[in-house]
Amino acid sequence: MRLTPTERDRLLLFSAAELARARKARGLRLNVPEATALIADTVCEAARDGARLVEAIERARAVLGPVDVLPGVADIVTEVHVEAVFDDGSRLAVVGDPIGGGPGEQAPGGLLPGPEHTEPAAVARVTVTNTATVPVSVTSHFHFFEVNPRLDFDRAAAYGMRLAVPAGSSVRFGPGESIEVGLVPIGGGRVAIGFAGLVDGPLDAPGAREEALRRAAACGYLGAGR
């Protein structure tokens, strides 16, 4: 069976969540990866059941309490981001305070909040128009070239780039809305795995950019032919 990178990621998340469910059923308190996987999977399963975004988030916030996790976990997992497929399209769900016992209730071994992440200086700017009938949210480290095909902008200019926003934040594009956003190069090893599968490898490999543009245009991504 051949699976897309997105489908592989979904199966990995489900497997991690099933492990968390099994351990919770045995009376074990969950660690950070287990709690995060269970919360994120609850959103995805609610979406699959036909729930709306708000309902899916509420289900995810109800799945775990402070007594279900190890000391300090509720102070670390203060927000969970997951992209799920709802009846009206893919939506980014942001589950705030998913475990309860927020940052003010420090448990032994908990982490104190550190300095806020600052917004990186943009090296490029593009104007993005959402032609879809639903809002589209893009997270800070998503390869912007591969975002929702109904977002219309200069894809070539966004190759190898991400949003110039603080880590963990996102930008929301309402239906019919046009917004100018800043972009910065993806750092580290500059490898794009998953996302929409338009690259799935080193961003700077010979011919990778041209092949990604060809795939995007063939799949109907707006702005790929500019």
Asked if residue 17 has pLDDT above 90, the reply is yes
* CB atoms near residue 22 (< 10 Å): 11
Going by C-alpha positions, the residue among 43, 222, 68, 70 that lies closest to residue 148 is 222
Q: What is the pLDDT of residue 223?
A: 95
Residue labelled with tokens 């794009």:
192
Residue 185, classed as helix, strand or coil, is: strand
**Number of C-beta neighbours around residue 44 at 10 A:** 21
pLDDT band per the 50, 70, 90 thresholds, residue 88: confident
In the chain, where do the E strands start and end? Answer: 79-86, 89-96, 124-130, 136-139, 151-152, 161-163, 170-173, 178-185, 191-192, 201-202
User: How many Å apart are CA 95 and CA 64, to the nearest integer?
Assistant: 12
- What is the pLDDT at residue 226? 72
Question: What is the pLDDT at residue 193?
Answer: 87
* Closest to 39 measured CA to CA, from 89, 87, 76, 1: 76
- Matching residue, tokens 């041209």: 210
pTM of the predicted protein model: 0.52
Q: Can you give the pLDDT at residue 106?
A: 43
CA–CA distances in Å: residue 137 to residues 59, 83, 91, 175, 195: 20, 9, 7, 11, 14
Q: Check residue 151 and give its pLDDT.
A: 96
